[in-house]
């Protein structure tokens, strides 16, 4: 159910983004901020689109990030 929804709604948007990225890649300076962003997104494309293949996979990892923030913040405090 969720996979079908993502395939129907997210995949067309992601495909349009991929076309734009592929079109922009040769036009932007590689060392510019936009060039870095385009290159990074193209290199991470498989990971970015993986959630569309499995409806159980969350779109983001905010829950995990929030859970480990305590340890990252504590690690900085424990140094002093």
What residue numbers bound the domain in which 32 lies? 2-78
User: Residue 54's pLDDT is what?
Assistant: 87
User: Residue 55's pLDDT is what?
Assistant: 84
Q: What's the rounded Cα separation, in Å, for the pair 31 and 19? A: 21
Q: What's the rounded Cα separation, in Å, for the pair 21 and 37? A: 9
User: Residue 16's pLDDT is what?
Assistant: 98
Q: What's the rounded Cα separation, in Å, for the pair 27 and 18? A: 15
Low-confidence ranges of the chain (pLDDT < 50): none
User: Residue 80's pLDDT is what?
Assistant: 63
Q: Do residues 48 and 10 touch, judged by C-beta distance below 8 A?
A: no
If one counts the domains in the chain, the total is 1
């Amino acid at each position: 159910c969720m996979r079908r929804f993502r395939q129907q709604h997210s995949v067309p948007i992601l495909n349009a983004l991929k076309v734009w990225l592929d079109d922009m890649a040769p036009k932007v300076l590689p060392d510019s901020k936009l060039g870095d962003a385009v290159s990074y997104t193209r290199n991470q494309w498989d990971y970015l689109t993986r959630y569309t293949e499995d409806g159980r996979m969350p779109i983001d990892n905010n829950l995990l990030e929030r859970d480990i923030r305590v340890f990252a913040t504590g690690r900085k405090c424990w140094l002093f």
